[in-house]
Structures are given as C-alpha cells and as structure tokens.
C-alpha cells in the first residue's frame, strides 16, 4: 500500500476494500437481487408511457450517434455510457414504484442499477462480456454501500438529498466493473464527496416537483462521468471527507462524522423493501393497505365521516405529511393524506391517481380536510429497530351520525422481508402489468425466465437488455 492509500479517509478505504476483495453474497441476497432486477425493469418499461419522462431521454444533441455505446433498457437508444446511465436510471425511478430502503437516511438502492446496466452493456458490446451473475453481485454490493451508509447518516436532517449515496455506490461499483483497482476506486470515490450533493428542496412543499424523479439519474450519470475521468488518470483527493474546514464533513455535514453503521456484507439486499401493489412513497405503503381494507366498510358512508386520524412514524411526519394545495403529480405522490384519501375512496391506488385529472377530484380534497396525522412513538422506534424495520400506519375513522368508529392498522407492508414469499407471485404479476403495453406475453416470459432462472446466469447482460426492447 502506497503513502497515498495509507492516508486516504478510512471510509474510502473500507468501501474500496469491500468492492475489490473477493465477495460471496448469501443465496438469499442473490434470490432477492433477481426480484429487484425484474421489478426495476418492469418499472422502467412502464415509465415509457409518461411523456414527462420520455422527453428527457435520448442524446443531449438530437441526432448524435454513439455506435459502440450502451443500449438503454426499453428504448433501443445507443448512447454514451454517461447519458445511457441517466436515461436508464430515470426510467427506473420515474414512477417511484420499485424497491426502497428506510433508515436514518431514505434511499432507493435500485437507483444504482442504471449505471450498472449501462456499464455492463457497454462492456459487452465492446468485447468484454459481463454476465448476469456478475450484474447480480454488483447490485448486491451497490445496494449494500448505499444502504449501510444510510443506516447511520441522516443527510436529510441538514437539508441534503440522499442521491449523494447513489453517486458514491454507483461510482465504486462502476469503477470495479471497468477493471479499476483499489487505488482507482479510492480516487474516483473522493470526487463524489467533493461534488457535495443537491438540496432536498425539490422533494418538499412548496417546491416539490419532477426533478425528484430524475435526481438519481443525475447522480448515477455523474458517478460514471467521474469514473471515466479517473480512468484517464485524474488524481483523487484522499481526505475529501475529513479535511478540517474544507472537507465534506465540516463544509456540508455540520461537523458530523460520516460512518458505516455496520460491516459491509449482503444485509441491505436481504432486507430491501418492495412496492408490490401500489406506487406510493414507502412511508405511506401501509396506510394505503389499511385504507384499501377499510374501503368496503365506507361505501355509501363517505358523507357521514366526521374525522380521520392517521397514526404514523416520525419519519413519515417529516417526509410525506403535507397540507395545502397539491399542484402537480410529484406533490401528490409524496402526500400521505392524499394517497390515503384516494385508497379509502376507490379501494385502490395506481400511478394515474397522481395525475391532474384525478387530483382535481373534490371528494379527495374533502377527505383530506378531515384528516389529522399524529406520531405513534412506538412505531417510530420499531422503524429504526434493525430486527423489526417496520413501517407502520394506522387509520381511525369517526362518523357524525353516531356510528361506531372503525380502525385499521398495518405494520409490515407486503414488500417487507418477512412477507417475501407472499410477495413473490405479486411481483411477477406486477412486472407483467407494467410491461403489458410494450412487450408481448412471449417477451415477458423470456425476461422472467432470463432473470429468475439461475441456469441463465452465464448469459451476457447485453442479451438481457435486448429482451427489454419491443
């Protein structure tokens, strides 16, 4: 180890060691990664139906060609790896409908998949095959880096956005996939911390807007850009995190130390949360489940509702509890009261329910006006308990006609690790529904088999990407 490596920030060295040393993930992690891959591709293909998303895709300069570039899932576009990463990541994240990680910091580890697919496809098309098995392992490691950093570091509490962790994880794994050594990984990682991170302002009222749907694409593509610069010989900055005054910790994190809450293994992939049935921000998933269960008891009684009390976690109180006008889909899909009201009224919730036509339903607004949201302190503790990791919500409805109140609570969403067996067939059905407008049944079955069958793990990733294109 040279002088530079010995004096690099400990966090950079730990991540580089994890990425570069031999790694054998658990079988549970591999099995879960298959579901994450299938689910993410389905969400990406479904996003092709949304013009607000597709207008962002393709080369920055129309007509630009990159003959040996990376192919973008679902589109057939061949782009340079940086823009291919942006497009793939933006497609995966657009509907806010795939996997989630909840901790001190909130995150979507599948935000890294766009970078991994772009790098893998690019290498395959330039005579350096990357297999599906290698992609699954890369996913597990990217999820782990992002998720374990999120366990103990609350960037949201100082106003910074979690996509920083996408940039860090995608950078480390992309560098390794391109053949970089430990020193290369440290160099590239140092640049991700020098960049800082966007503010969370676009995720919260009164500024909630569609940037939150491409923020991860921005971060992942920046990671690939930094990796490619480092591969050209750009120097790193070994104490970018800890340097007094000028380093990330002092300059942007209010002097707090950035730490890893536990060793890097396969923990995050094993415990990842899936959005199985409804595209709701994850802190509200169980509220939607509870509301759907209550719906049959409310048919014909909505005008008799006097008040609705929602009990939730402290994290949800900070992220998705919002009053006042909701002026766009991005504001609605991060409003606990809105998603609960829609589910109570309709007994369902889908992506179209966030669009302007649905958002103008006066019945939804009347229900929102009757809602109060309170924290359940025990649920807040259970949310942070590594043995429970629950995301509970409860609904209590009072009537003004003297009827007895009705209540419903759900602590573990269908996408929780403890409900994985129950969720698996629903995830496959969700993939079919998400891709039905773009892929025929034969193509759907080919993708399902390619991803879920271990016998296909030796196939190159380029073949998998080809299967996503109608």
CA 411, distance to chain mean position in Å, is 21
pLDDT value at 2 more than 80: no
Q: Check pLDDT > 60 for residue 194.
A: yes
Which residues is 312 bridged to in the sheet?
A: 375
The 10s digit of each residue's pLDDT in 197-226 is 999 999 988 898 999 999 999 999 999 999
Assigned token pair, 296: 């049959």
Q: How confident is the model over 439-466, as a mean pLDDT?
A: 97
Q: Treating both helix axes as pointing N-terminal to C-terminal, what angle do 132-152 and 10-20 enclose, rounded to 10 degrees?
A: 160
Can you give the pLDDT at residue 205? Answer: 82
Residues 6+ apart with CB under 8 A from 455: none
CB burial class (10 A; 0-12, 13-18, 19+) of residue 195? middle
In this structure, what token pair is assigned to residue 176? 């390794």
More confident residue, 235 or 470: 235
How many Å apart are CA 308 and CA 368, to the nearest integer?
A: 9
How many other CB atoms sit within 10 Å of the CB of residue 268?
27
User: Rounded distance, CA 144 to CA 265, Å?
Assistant: 7
Q: What is the pLDDT of residues 58-88, one digit of tens each?
A: 999 999 999 999 999 999 899 999 999 999 9
- pLDDT grade, residue 389 (50/70/90)? confident
The whole-number pLDDT of residue 71 equals 96
CATH architecture of structural domain 3-271: Orthogonal Bundle (1.10)
Contact predicate 176/296, CB 8 Å = no
**Rounded (5°) CA angle 12-128-63:** 95
Write phi, then psi, for 297 (nearest 5 degrees): -80, -10
Please say whether the structural domain 282-413 has been given the CATH code 1.10.443.10.
no
For the cut 80, the answer to whether the pLDDT of residue 47 exceeds it is yes
What separation in angstroms does the CA of 178 have from each of 185, 261, 316, 386?
10, 28, 39, 34
Q: At what angle do helices 113-124 and 27-47 cross, to 10 degrees?
A: 90
| For the chain, domain boundaries | 3-271, 282-413
As a whole-number percent, the residues of the chain with pLDDT over 70 amount to 99
Contact (CB, 8 A) for 104 and 143: no
The pLDDT tens digits for 349-363 are 998 999 999 989 999
HEC per residue, 375-399? ECHHHHHHHHCCCCCCCCEEEEEEE
The answer, yes or no, to whether residue 279 has pLDDT greater than 90, is no
Instruction: Report whether pLDDT(159) > 90.
Output: yes
Token look-up 């909701």 returns: 326
Residue 385's pLDDT is 86
Give the whole-angstrom CA distance, residue 252 versus residue 157.
Answer: 11
pLDDT for 225: 98
pLDDT in tens, 396-452: 999 998 889 999 999 999 999 999 999 999 999 999 999 999 999 999 999 999 999
Helical axes 27-47 vs 81-93, angle rounded to 10°: 90
pLDDT at 437: 96
Question: 257 and 411 in contact (C-beta within 8 Å)?
Answer: no
- The predicted pLDDT at position 128 comes to 95
Confidence class of residue 278 from pLDDT cuts 50, 70 and 90? confident
- pLDDT of 46 higher than 80: yes
> Which pLDDT does position 4 carry in this prediction?
56
Residue tagged 């120097």 (tokens): 235
Mean pLDDT of the chain: 95
**Other Cβ atoms within 10 Å of 147 Cβ, number:** 24
As given in the structure block, the two tokens for residue 184 are 């290369």
240-256 residues labelled b (16+ CB within 10 A) or e (exposed): bbbeeeebbbeebbeee
pLDDT band for 6, please (50, 70, 90 cuts).
low
pTM given for the model = 0.86
Q: Would you give the end-to-end CA distance of the chain in angstroms?
A: 49
pLDDT for position 1: 52
């Amino acid at each position: 180890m040279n002088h530079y490596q010995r004096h690099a920030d400990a966090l950079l060295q730990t991540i580089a060691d994890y990425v570069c040393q031999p790694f054998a993930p658990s079988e549970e992690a591999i099995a879960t990664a298959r579901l994450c891959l299938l689910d993410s591709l389905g969400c990406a293909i479904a996003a092709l139906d949304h013009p607000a998303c597709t207008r962002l895709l393709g080369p920055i300069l129309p007509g630009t060609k990159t003959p040996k570039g990376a192919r973008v899932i679902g589109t057939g576009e061949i782009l340079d790896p940086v823009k291919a990463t942006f497009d793939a990541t933006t497609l995966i994240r657009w509907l806010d409908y795939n996997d989630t990680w909840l901790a001190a910091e909130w995150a979507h580890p599948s935000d890294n998949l766009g970078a991994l697919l772009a790098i893998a496809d690019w290498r395959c098309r330039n005579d350096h095959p990357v297999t599906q098995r290698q992609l699954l392992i890369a996913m597990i490691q990217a999820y782990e880096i992002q998720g374990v950093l999120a366990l103990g570091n609350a960037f949201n509490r100082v106003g910074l956005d979690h996509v920083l962790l996408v940039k860090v994880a995608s950078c480390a794994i992309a560098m390794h996939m391109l053949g970089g050594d430990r020193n290369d990984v440290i160099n590239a990682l140092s640049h991700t911390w020098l960049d800082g991170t966007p503010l969370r302002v676009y995720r919260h009222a009164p500024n909630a807007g569609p940037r939150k749907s491409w923020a991860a694409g921005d971060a992942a593509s920046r990671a690939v850009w930094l990796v490619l610069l480092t591969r050209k010989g750009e120097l790193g900055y070994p104490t970018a995190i800890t340097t007094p005054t000028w380093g990330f910790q002092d300059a942007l994190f209010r002097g707090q130390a950035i730490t890893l809450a536990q060793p890097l293994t396969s923990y995050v992939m094993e415990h990842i949360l899936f959005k199985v049935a409804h595209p709701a921000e994850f802190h509200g998933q169980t509220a939607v489940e509870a509301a759907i269960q209550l719906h049959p008891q409310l048919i014909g009684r909505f005008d008799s509702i006097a008040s609705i009390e929602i009990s939730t976690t402290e994290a949800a109180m900070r992220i998705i509890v919002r009053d006042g006008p909701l002026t766009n889909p991005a504001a609605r899909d991060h409003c606990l009261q809105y998603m609960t009201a829609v589910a109570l009224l309709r007994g369902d919730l889908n992506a179209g329910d966030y669009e302007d036509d649905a958002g103008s339903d006066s019945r939804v607004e009347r229900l929102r006006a009757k809602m109060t949201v309170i924290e359940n302190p025990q649920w807040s503790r259970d949310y942070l308990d590594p043995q429970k990791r629950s995301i509970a919500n409860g609904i209590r409805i009072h009537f003004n006609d003297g009827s007895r109140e009705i209540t419903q609570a759900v602590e573990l969403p269908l996408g929780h690790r403890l409900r994985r067996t129950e969720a698996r067939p629903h995830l496959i059905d969700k993939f079919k529904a998400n891709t039905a407008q773009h892929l025929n049944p034969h193509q759907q079955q080919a993708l399902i088999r390619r991803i879920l069958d271990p016998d296909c793990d030796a196939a190159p990733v380029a073949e998998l990407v080809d299967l996503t294109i109608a």
